[in-house]
A and B are shown apart, each in its own frame.
Chain A
Amino acid sequence: MFEIAPRKEPSRLMVWLTPALAVGLTLLAGMALFAALGKDPVETIRVIFVQPFLDPFSRTELLVKGAPLVLIAIGLAIGFRAGVWNIGAEGQFVIGAIAGGGVALAFYDTSGFWLLPLMTLAGALGGAAWAMIPAFLKIKFNANEILVSLMLVYVAIFWLSALVSGPLRDPDGFNFPESRIFHDSATLPIIIDGSRAHIGVLVALGAVVAAYVLMERHIFGYQVKLFGQAPRAASFGGFSRNMLIAACLGLSGALAGVAGTFEAAGPVGQLVPALPVGYGFTAIIVAFLGRLHPIGILFSGSVMALTYIGGEAAQIAMNLPAAAINVFQGMLLFFLLGMDLLVNYRVGWKQRAA
């Protein structure tokens, strides 16, 4: 039989080895899944994980999918480290899109270099404000932030749907529930010609660097880690728990809001009810797979973007059901969480009693 014993300190080797192992195991389990669905497993894996790199357009699409995932996951990871569970990034993403898109539509008749920065600011503030609801209710009334932030996802999605079929509906749009298409100065500049890769990719990279500095070189990062590992010690140290809850939720909400604005002002180009496609939830997997570390998230976001793009390719080329990719992503998180055992415990054969 196996025997486990707690480690005094988490194994540093295992912290970074287990995500790679989890990806490997998920590939194997994924092949079993694809075989069960009647697809050639090796070919499916090749289409998902190799094909996107062979085609120049697919390569740039990786950036389009990866940018929002990384942006959102960076913010969530900071909260998760402090033990603040923001599960409602999808809702903050939607509110960010409404706020940023609202600015774009309000200035539909004017254009200027200042419009995009203003939209981004509005998106950040909108997302942050939406996230401050669970923060406020947690601080003031002790309400569980997981449940409140999640409930607000549904509220946000209904609100977006109400707005685009009401006040924000395109007046020339034949009553379709869609906003006007944003004009050029409210649309994100493209950084690679002939692709949809927009300037948000660079913003996401900047967020990785900023988060790294914040978490590893700034007192705020120290507070976050201290609260996550020893909340009582942090309180005795004079750090304010309430400030930390507000900061973590506000920051992750702002980043999710910016991601929402970028989605509306980038690949989509208008406000539509189908704008939220689950980035806010997938980003939870990205955050864990990246070990809640900014650099790790950059890699895990890329892997997850690959499963999206490769999954789409496999849908077209091999008729793979779209949901198979969601199952695949879920398995990845399970394998990773299961392998955490190796990080925190020593596993060995049971010794005979002497």
Chain B
Amino acid sequence: MDLSVLNPVQIMVALIIASTPVLFAALGELVVEKSGVLNLGVEGMMIVGAIGGFATGAATGSLWLAVLAGAGAGALLALLFAVMTQYLMSNQVATGLALTLFGLGVAALAGQNFAGVTLDVAVRLDVPGLTDLPVVGSLLFGHDPLIYLSIFMTIAVWWFLNRSRAGLNLRAIGENHDAAHAIGYSVRLTRVAAILFGGAMAGVGGAYLSVIATPLWVEGMTAGRGWIALAIVVFAAWKPGRALLGAYLFGGVTIIQLNLQALGVPIESQYLSMTPYLATIVVLVVISADKARARLNAPACLGKPFYASS
């Protein structure tokens, strides 16, 4: 095996690109779950974001319009979930599953004319002088702007949840919606807003995947990343910084197995392709094993319906 073909900086950059879609989706879902809502439709919102972004990118050639369209498509699907669970009082687990099945169907329908279309809208943020620095330069500079946005959003979500008044309200609603309602917080509106944010973030993650990371439209291209984002939220114990770590861990496993495939390791590629999913299971098991801590971290009202009697 010739290891010299591996370039550590390139691998690191590939890792970040593989992680970013999952990071966006996980950050969104983290806020949703902090408000006490469990939306299992992340996969569906991601894939409509992927096709929404790709179609818009193909039509306009603009990266930012594509990302906005991805966010809009994700949020639109999330709106359906919000109305169903918050106003029609439907079961969150079942509705989330429905969202995923429906989203996969809608995306396949919308994307049937986009298979094989290529896209080149990616822009790189080059900083003259700095990008040319060895190692550090190519590691920190010269990437697409969404990578920086994902890091910024990690910090922003942390700041929102831990340092802002609105974030405190949102967490209070997630911990005890009856008490929060009693002191006058609007449980439903806050949750609807959180669900829409989660949908938009999942949509951006999907758009990143189809517009920048691949950049191609393939039916079912999210391939379980939405579900992995849900697992990362559990792994992260609902903390944004650890969601970043979890997403990069997932990206690391993905990139290692892709590189092993490229190096021609003598096992069938399918066994390597399994590893991100197996790693997700292992991580879930390790993190959930400490039952007391898992209970302490999870929002107390997660997944419970809220009915205001007055």
Contact = CB atoms under 8 A, between A and B. Distances in A.
A321 B107 CA distance: 12
Contact of A334 (B84, B271, B280, B285): B84
Given A154-B224, A326-B101, A331-B102, A137 B93 contact: no
B105 A323 contact: yes
B38 to A, nearest CB: 10
A334 B98 contact: yes
B130 interface: no
Interface in B150-193: none
Nearest to A327: B105
B227 interface: yes
Nearest to B113: A321
Interface residues on B, range: 35 or more
Interface string A330-345: 1101100110110011
13 contacts: A4-B89, A85-B93, A147-B227, A151-B280, A154-B274, A155-B278, A161-B270, A162-B268, A326-B108, A330-B102, A340-B90, A341-B90, A345-B89
B102 A144 contact: no
A50 interface: no
A154 B274 CA distance: 7
A166 interface: yes
A87 interface: yes
Nearest to B294: A142
Contact of B285 (A85, A143, A153): A143
A148 interface: yes
A137 B274 CA distance: 18
A321 B109 contact: yes
Interface of B: 40, 80, 84, 88-91, 93-95, 97-98, 101-106, 108-109, 112, 219, 223-224, 227-228, 230-231, 234, 268, 270-271, 273-274, 277-278, 280-281, 284-286, 288-289, 291, 294, 307
A144 B98 contact: no
**Chain B interface helix/strand/loop/mixed:** helix
Given A147-B284, A340-B91, A142 B291 contact: yes
Given A150-B227, A321-B109, A323-B109, 18 more contacts: A85-B93, A137-B284, A142-B291, A144-B284, A147-B281, A152-B277, A154-B224, A165-B268, A324-B109, A326-B105, A326-B109, A329-B105, A330-B98, A333-B101, A334-B102, A337-B98, A340-B90, A341-B90
Given A151-B280, A330-B101, A337 B223 contact: no
Given A141-B285, A337-B94, A162 B89 contact: no
A147 B90 contact: no
A316 to B, nearest CB: 16
Interface in A129-162: 137, 141-144, 146-148, 150-155, 158-159, 161-162
Contacts, number: 136
A281 interface: yes
A285 interface: yes
Contact of A142 (B93, B101, B288): B288
Contacts of B234: 144, 147
Q: Which 7 A-B residue pairings sit nearest by Cβ, starting from the closest?
A: A330-B102, A326-B105, A323-B108, A162-B270, A323-B109, A327-B105, A337-B90
A340 B89 contact: yes
Contacts of A146: 40, 93
Nearest to B84: A338
A338 B69 CA distance: 27
Interface residues on A, range: 35 or more
Contact of A150 (B224, B278, B289): B224
Interface of A: 4, 6, 85, 87, 137, 141-144, 146-148, 150-155, 158-159, 161-162, 165-166, 281, 284-285, 288, 321-331, 333-334, 337-338, 340-341, 344-345
B101 to A, nearest CB: 5
Contacts of B105: 323-330
A334 B91 CA distance: 11
A327 B106 contact: yes
Among B93, B105, B234: residue with most chain A CB under 10 A? B105
Nearest to A150: B227
B281 A137 contact: yes
Contacts of A85: 93
A345 B89 CA distance: 9
Contacts of B281: 137, 143, 147-148, 151-152
Nearest to A341: B88
A137 to B, nearest CB: 5
Given A142-B291, A284-B101, A326-B105, A151 B285 contact: no
Contacts of A158: 270-271, 273-274
Among B224, B268, B286, B307: residue with most chain A CB under 10 A? B268
A325 to B, nearest CB: 8
B101 A321 contact: no
Contacts of A323: 105-106, 108-109, 112, 219
Contact of A137 (B40, B277, B285): B285
Contacts of B90: 337-338, 340-341
Given A150-B224, A334-B84, A337-B90, A155 B288 contact: no
A338 B101 CA distance: 16
A326 B289 CA distance: 37
Nearest to A167: B268
B89 A281 contact: no
A87 B274 contact: no
A340 B98 CA distance: 14
A322 B115 CA distance: 15
Contacts of B101: 281, 284-285, 326, 329-330, 333
A11 to B, nearest CB: 14
